[in-house]
Amino acid sequence: MLRKVTATRYIEPLRSGGSVPGVVEADDLGTYVVKFTASAQGRKALVAEVIVGELARALGLRFPELVLVHFDPVIAGHEEHQEVRNLHASSAGVNLGMDYLPGARDFTPEVADAFRVDPLEAGRIVWLDALTANVDRTVHSSNLMIWPTLGIAPPRLWLIDHGAALVFHHRWDLSAPEKSYDFRHHALGHYAPDVRAANAELAPKVTEELLREVVSEVPDAWLLGELDFATPQEVREAYVGYLHARVRASDVWLPTDFPTREEIAAEEALRAARTQRGRPKWLKQVPDLHGKPAAEQDWSVHPG
């Protein structure tokens, strides 16, 4: 079972994503990134985090430890933003914490150009994302970290943020476990991911027993309120049944067609050109406030 800790000190909010998680210290002396139950993504995002994260760990992929964090909003009373305080007030009780990786860097396109990823490791990550329908690990938003970065050990890829996975549970469409998704722009697509070798290695490991073990980590309270199910256990069985059926259909949904970096760049350039052509003339003249220093801007277009 996931360990349970109590948050003792609130450090800061993280505004890089829409869920506004918070960094806290806990009574086990650990530091965690806490995702709150009242965030805009809802509790299903936390369910996906647990199921996909624990499955990743069981398959040998690097993923920070998850814990259940009891959070009292009183410890974050100094937070200056009202919307964040409201989020805390609505999330009193048990939330989800992920072990904080100090000094970790985002796996951005700039970093990726200088970072070597083994094709089999890339294949394992792509395979997990395809199995769990994780549509949020793209060249634009990798949800990958590089850690450690201090030279003590070789830097490695770590998976984070799986709240957008398991898309089938938003409408409980269990009818097509063999459904394919477009993973051509996966963050690791241009590393020649060996998804066939990954499938041969990982698919036999994803048994009903393993899936039941993983799904059992989700708190009952996060599974309540599903209209199609009477009990949390019925919801768990739905996850197990669908994912196990999807594993058995892996030869159908296995992604193998990945564009090169040059092809991705060409697609992006074409998309940008189409967007620019469709913009009204006055909007094309708006100065690029993010691309140049303020002193170089042409303010004549909008003198106000």
CB contact at 8 A, 88 and 70: no
Same domain, 156 and 224: yes
Same domain, 149 and 133: yes
Last residue of a domain, one of 253, 270, 298: 253
Q: Is residue 208 part of a domain?
A: yes
Write down the pLDDT at residue 280. 64
Same domain, 87 and 110: no
Same domain, 113 and 233: yes
**Residue 222 C-beta-side C-alpha neighbours within 13 Å:** 28
Same domain, 154 and 39: no
Report the 10 Å Cβ neighbour count for 24: 25
User: Does residue 300 carry a pLDDT above 80?
Assistant: no
- DSSP-based three-state secondary structure for 286: coil
Token look-up 């996906």 returns 48
Pairing of strands 93-99, 66-71: antiparallel
How does residue 279 score in pLDDT terms, banded at 50, 70 and 90? low
> Structurally, how many domains does the chain consist of?
2
Please confirm whether the linkage preceding 109 is cis (ω < 30° from 0): no
Q: Which domain holds residue 57?
A: 3-99
Q: Is residue 299 part of a domain?
A: no
Same domain, 110 and 246: yes
Residue 71 phi, psi (nearest 5):
-120, 125
User: Does residue 243 carry a pLDDT above 70?
Assistant: yes
Write down the pLDDT at residue 110. 85
Token look-up 């000190």 returns 9
Q: Is residue 142 part of a domain?
A: yes
Hey, CA dihedral for 132, 136, 138, 141, is it positive or negative? negative
Q: What does the DSSP 8-state code read for residue 44?
A: H
Residue 177 phi, psi (nearest 5):
-65, -15
CB contact at 8 A, 112 and 143: no
Same domain, 120 and 241: yes
| Structure tokens that stand for 250 in this block | 């892996």
Nearest-angstrom CA–CA distance, 183 and 15: 27
List pLDDT tens digits, range 190-212.
899 999 999 999 999 999 999 99
Nearest-angstrom CA–CA distance, 225 and 231: 9
Q: Is residue 153 part of a domain?
A: yes
| pLDDT (average), residues 241-262 | 92
Of 284, 106, 126, residue with least CA distance to 193: 126
Of 136, 158, 168, 183, residue with least CA distance to 17: 136
Nearest-angstrom CA–CA distance, 34 and 97: 4
Write down the pLDDT at residue 91. 98
How does residue 237 score in pLDDT terms, banded at 50, 70 and 90? very high
Same domain, 55 and 169: no
List pLDDT tens digits, range 265-274.
787 788 788 8
- DSSP-based three-state secondary structure for 69: strand
How does residue 285 score in pLDDT terms, banded at 50, 70 and 90? low
CB contact at 8 A, 56 and 159: yes
Nearest-angstrom CA–CA distance, 89 and 38: 9
Q: How many residues appear in the chain?
A: 304
List pLDDT tens digits, range 67-96.
999 999 999 999 999 999 999 999 999 999
Q: Is residue 296 part of a domain?
A: no
Of 92, 83, 81, 101, residue with least CA distance to 32: 101
Residues of the chain with pLDDT > 90: what percent?
A: 73
